[in-house]
Structures are given as structure tokens and as C-alpha cells.
Amino acid sequence: MTYETKNLRNVVLLGHPGSGKTSFAEAMLFEAKATTRRGTVNDKSTISDFTNIEQERGNSIFSTLMHAKWKDSKINIIDTPGFDDFVGEVVSSMKVADTAIMMLNARSGVEVGTELIWEYVERFKTPTMFVVNHLDNEKANFEMTLDQARARFGPKVLPVQYPINVGVGFNTIVDALRMIVYKFPDGGGRPEKIAIPDSEIERAQEMHNALVEAAAENDETLMEKFFEAGNLNEQELAKGLTIALANQEIYPLFIASADRNMGSGRVMGFINDICPSPADRPEADLQNGETIACDANGPTVLFIYKTLSEPQVGKLTYFKVYSGTLNTGDELVNQSNRSSERFNQLFVANGKIREQVECLKAGDIGVSVKLKSTHTNNTLSPKGSNLVIEEIHFPEPRIRTAVNPPSKNDMEKLIKALHQIEEEDPTLVLEQSKALKQTILHGQGQLHLDIIKYRIEKVNNISMDFIQPKISYRETITATANGNYRHKKQSGGSGQFGEVYMRIEPWYEGLAAPSDFTVRKTETEELPWGGKLVFNWCIVGGSIDAKYSNAIKKGIMMKMEEGPLTGSHCQDIQVSIYDGKMHPVDSNDMAFMLASTHVFKTNFSQAKPQILEPIYDMEILCSGDVMGDVMSDLQTRRAVIQGMDADGHYQKIKAKVPLAELYQYSSTLRSITQGKAKFSRSLSNYAAVPGDIQKRLIQSYQGEAQEA
């Protein structure tokens, strides 16, 4: 069946681990009769979390696309992981969703995972509703959860429902929008509708009035009607709430017990009646700064938000139709690489179950198979068009590890397998570092990297071990040194001769040219690894022909690529070539290159050399009760605390920490906070290492050189 754009709803389930997203999705599908049996996470029988690794671990790792029919609408549901290690799955899902359902755990309230995900809600400006889950738990506390939600997300959080009996006996929901009570049987399912008891009328009416006022505020006609009549009818109320939700003026809050199938049907009805269709959302941003409307009659434009490899099937490509109508057999052009792709098969999905369809209209989300040259973040549109949807901006990696190299044959297979996972997961970065002579994996957290290892070993049958990665240090100097070196070689035939006099000194912005030399030419090299080399040619009288200047500079650059102290890159040095000698027969580029390399190395060791280490800006978000432990741990890592701020009811710690002290920090933070903290990091600058560490690094490098 083909659905019109106005009858489509795209929702994404978000929340901290354990908030019940997967169970709630299962209840939604069961209520909509999209499945005949309500699966559970414990039984490993849910539509979502269908991969072996998710079933083994008992939590979501990948986003899962599902759908259900409700009245005249098709509701596309995307279940997402709660662990921040898999934030890429969350971000890509939010890109194509039109409404977010934020699950809150009634036992724990607003958790740190909720705080982090909210940043993406604000970035995508996604209309959002809350569902307070686990109200049947003995430790459930609805009032605490509601208070925390309002404290963190403001007065826009408007409860639509509240429970009468929280805890193990939970079975009754007061619905203030419809002014009715839903009383559920013991096993959940279809509730009995009864009148609101006198004891609850006042609270329910107060909530109802708040919803009516919020609906009226977004439409002048409704506002006038509200002032005249003091109320709105059901149709008017729905219209006003749709506008308010679409504009993020309200965040409606519902309640549920996903495990006992209570409350999901009412949420489905609200999604159908109130939540915006793709056509109600703002036009999609294009890469060129323009926008495109979600119109089934427009040009066909698809955006690939996810790719996944499945055994026996190959590559699955998940996409949203942003404009036009996609029909089976259509051929579109990938605007990233100009390759043509034919859509021989189109599917809608419920987890691993895929149903073939003939076409998908603007706003719908679907799946195709065996697209050869199409990847996540690609746009496909008609030949000759330049319509490109703005790409997803994935978060930068926060953790890294090195791969212990297996045999040469296994290494080739391993790199191929890692590249495939990297294609599916843009938050994983594979780096084959020439400078460190290591294969480095950059990810979101230790759990993220552990899952990559699991997939490599179980799916690809390749053994992979992680080892501590080396640090990309830098070397520089803090004083001036002069020196010279004569390279002379005679072994029959043409010899080699070159003599170079060189001064090196620390470079900084605004440094003047040497006053005691006549500078003939200055070249400034922006080094690929950062920093600069300023090269002054100060030869007077032709003691060295200017044609050898490039060879001399090349010799210096060779040594700067592998510095004298630890083999690290050198930076921010000014070099002046002020004298030398050449031979009319034996001088050549090689001779001067070797001479300059040698004198640079000698001068470097005499110019008070300094090793620099990468310093990272860290932001740690944690609950107040673990802040002391987090601070204590940072102090053992040579951290410099920059400040502390409140962020909702969490604390944000800002610090500068050397990269060398951050190995396995993700695991340590999770351990000392019981998962109640998250962090982000970004490169800040390079700073001098302490003297004892510099000495140890040099000794280690010299020891490795002797063993080699």
C-alpha cells in the first residue's frame, strides 16, 4: 500500500539505556496489529534488536526501522541505542525523523543519556514528546520524573496524563486531554474507559486548561475562540496542539508501562492525530544553502541515512524520500560520485522482516538492496540536477586504540573488514598512521570499540587484539644554535661534497628575520602536521649556489618528519643558511641534503630541545554525587581543571588533559560513576611535557632504536 505524504508519521525513540525504548516499540507494533505476538528483550524475541550481538547483550546497538498502520496513517518507528557509544545511530535516525519520543525511566528521572541526546533534539529542532515508562516498578516516582523534566526542559513540558497508582499495582492513567481515565486489565492491552473520580477532577482540569491554552496561543482564530468560549472543541484543540508541537512550543508528556503493554495505544493515537507529517515540517536544507519541499509531485530526491551489511543479502541501504515519488525500476544519480543507481527492489521494514512495495512517496522511509556505489550521507536525485541534502554531521571520536598487527595475510583481511564497518558506522575512524607506525581505531567509547572487535572476530573470523596506541608527540626548540657540517665522500668516480653553515631558532608569530645576516629569500612552509618551518637563504658571495637551496631545505624537512629526540614531527623552527662551501665537480643535491640533515640534527640537540604533547579539552557531564570521584581521577591524569558548571541537574566539568593520560578513560569513567557520566573531547593545543617524562621518552626511543 502506498501512503500519501500527509498520512506519514516518522518517529524516533530516544532515551538513556534501560528506559524501555525497544519494549515500547514492541508494544506499539502489537497495539497496531503489526505483529501478533509481543516479544520481550529477555526472550530475545523483539522485532527490534534482532541481530545476534544485540540479543546476546540484551541492549540495542543499531537503529532499527519498523512501521505500523494506525487509522489512515503509516507510522515509521526508529528504535535507537541508549548507550552514548552508539550515538551515530541516534544522530542518523534523528536526521530523518519528524517527531522524537523521549523515553524517561520513572525509577531514575532525567538521566545523563537524556541530557546528551537533548543536544541533538535542539540541533535538529525536532518536535518532541516524552513518555515516562516503568511506572509499574516498585521504585517508580512519577512526580520526581515530571519535576526533573520541567526543571531541565522548561515549562514547555506539559503532562497529558498522570498515574493514580504508581508502583507494582500500576494500572490506571488519567488522561487530561480527553478528560477520561484508562483502567487496564492485569495483563495490559485494551483499557476500560471510566469517568475521572471526584478526587482527581481538579488536577485533571488544571492540566487540561494548560493544554488548551498552549493550543490557543499558536493560532489567532483559536485564541479568539478560546477567549469567547473559554474552551476549544476536540478538532480545534487538535489543530492548535499540532501547530504548537511542530513549532516546539510544547513537549507533551505521556505515561506507560511498556513491559505490561499499558499506554502505547494512546501514544499511537496522539502520533496519528497530532504529530506533524513530513509535509508539516520545515523544508529540508540543501548543501548549497537552499531548501526543498517535501512534495510527492516534486523531483525525486533520496537521502541515505544508514547502510548495513547482512549475511546472504549483502548491503542494505536505508533512505528517506525527501521529495518526489520513488518507483521500482527508477534510476537516480548519486550526487557525491556521479554514479547511476537503479532501484530494482523497494522495501518497507519491520526489523529484519522486509516487505516489497512498488513505490514510496515523499516523506516515507524505505530500504533497498545491492546499490553498488551509494553510502551513508549520499543524496540521489535525477540526472542533471544538483539537489543535495545537507549531510549528517557526526560527532568526533572520543577514544582511540591501536590494533596489534596479526600476520600479513590476516592484516589485509582485517583492514578490508574494518573498512566495511567504517562505511556502515561513520563514527568509527580507521587510521593507518605512518608517523606512529600503527593502525589506529578512533571510536566513541570502549564499548563501541569492543563491539567492533566482537564483529570482526565473530562475523569475519579474524583475531584482533587492542594495544595502547602511541602518542603523536611534537618536537621543537627553545634556544638558538649555530653549527656546520661538511659531507665529503670519495669512493672512485664522482664524489660527494657539501658544507652547510646553519642557524636554528624557535619560531613564533611575528619573529623578525636575523639582523646579523643578509636574508636573500624567505620561504615559509606550513607543515602538514601543524606548525611552521621558516627557511632563510642568507648566502652572500656565492659560497653555495642558490640551486642547492631546495636540496638543503629538503634535508631539513626529512629530519623534521622524524625528529632527533623521539622520531616525532618537528615544528615551529626558523632556519637560516648563512655560509658553506661547494665543489665544482663533486657537489650535488644529495651531498647538500645529507649535510643539512646532519647539521640540523646536531644544532637541534644544542638548542634546548623540547617535546610537546597533545592536550585535549575535556567536558565531563556527571551527577553531583559522583563529581568528587571524577575530579579525583582527573587529578591523577595531570589534568588542569578549567571550571565547573551546572547543566540541568547535572554537573559539567571542564578540564585540559594530556592525551597520554586518557587511555581507557571511557571504561574508567563508566566504572567510577556506574554509568552516570559522559564525556567529550577535542584537541586543544600542544604543550611541553614535564622534564622527567621527556627524559623517559627519549630513553625509550633510544632503546627501541638500538634494538631495531
Beta bridge partners of 306: 318
Rounded to the nearest 10 degrees, what angle do helices 87-96 and 112-124 cross at?
Answer: 30
- Using one digit for the tens of pLDDT, what is the confidence trace for 450-509? 999 999 998 888 888 999 999 999 999 999 999 999 999 877 667 899 999 999 999 999
Residue 708 has pLDDT above 60, yes or no: no
- Using one digit for the tens of pLDDT, what is the confidence trace for 494-525? 789 999 999 999 999 999 989 999 999 999 99
Alpha-carbon gap, residue 631 to 330, rounded angstroms: 57
Alpha-carbon gap, residue 648 to 624, rounded angstroms: 11
Mean pLDDT value of segment 71-100 = 96
Which strands form 573-581's sheet, in the order they lie side by side? 481-489, 496-506, 573-581, 532-537, 521-526
Residue 272 has pLDDT above 90, yes or no: yes
672 and 665 Cβ atoms separated by less than 8 Å: no
CATH code for the part of the protein at 284-381: 2.40.30.10
- Split at pLDDT 50, 70, 90, the class of 383 is very high
Reading the block at residue 185, the C-alpha cell is 486489565
pLDDT of residue 442: 95
5-280 and 399-467: same fold? no
Residue 224 has pLDDT above 70, yes or no: yes
Look at domain 5-280 and name its CATH class.
alpha beta
pLDDT of residue 228: 65
Mean pLDDT value of segment 149-154 = 93
- Mean pLDDT, the chain, as a whole number? 93
CA atoms within 13 A on the CB side of 523: 12
Compare 677 and 225 and report the one with higher pLDDT. 677
Mean pLDDT value of segment 606-625 = 94
pLDDT of residue 278: 97
pLDDT of residue 233: 73
pLDDT of residue 112: 84
Alpha-carbon gap, residue 651 to 253, rounded angstroms: 25
Instruction: Given CATH 3.30.70.2520, say whether it is the number of domain 613-693.
Output: no
User: DSSP secondary structure string, 106-149?
Assistant: TTTBS-HHHHHHHHHHHHHT--EEEEEE-TTSTT--HHHHHHHH
- Using one digit for the tens of pLDDT, what is the confidence trace for 578-605? 999 999 889 999 999 999 999 999 999 9
Residue 222 has pLDDT above 80, yes or no: no
pLDDT of residue 492: 64
85 and 675 Cβ atoms separated by less than 8 Å: no
Mean pLDDT lowest for which of 116-120, 224-228, 556-560, 671-675? 224-228
Q: How far is CA 305 from CA 223, 226, 430, in A?
A: 40, 43, 20
145 and 103 Cβ atoms separated by less than 8 Å: no
Mean pLDDT value of segment 141-169 = 95
Mean pLDDT value of segment 240-252 = 93
- Using one digit for the tens of pLDDT, what is the confidence trace for 418-450? 999 998 999 999 999 988 889 999 999 999 999
Q: What is the dihedral of CA 698, 700, 703, 705, to 10 degrees?
A: -70
- Using one digit for the tens of pLDDT, what is the confidence trace for 180-197? 999 999 878 889 999 999
pLDDT of residue 493: 66
Helix/strand/coil percent split, the chain, to 5: 30, 30, 35
Mean pLDDT value of segment 310-314 = 79
Instruction: Given CATH 3.30.230.10, say whether it is the number of domain 475-607.
Output: yes
Residue 314 has pLDDT above 90, yes or no: no
pLDDT of residue 226: 66
- Using one digit for the tens of pLDDT, what is the confidence trace for 539-573? 988 899 999 999 999 999 999 999 999 999 999 99
What's the fold here for domain 399-467? Alpha-Beta Plaits (3.30.70)
pLDDT of residue 367: 97
Mean pLDDT value of segment 358-375 = 95
481 and 564 Cβ atoms separated by less than 8 Å: no
Domain layout of the chain by residue ranges: 5-280, 284-381, 399-467, 475-607, 613-693
Mean pLDDT lowest for which of 67-76, 80-89, 486-495, 568-577? 486-495
Q: What is the dihedral of CA 308, 311, 315, 317, to 10 degrees?
A: -50
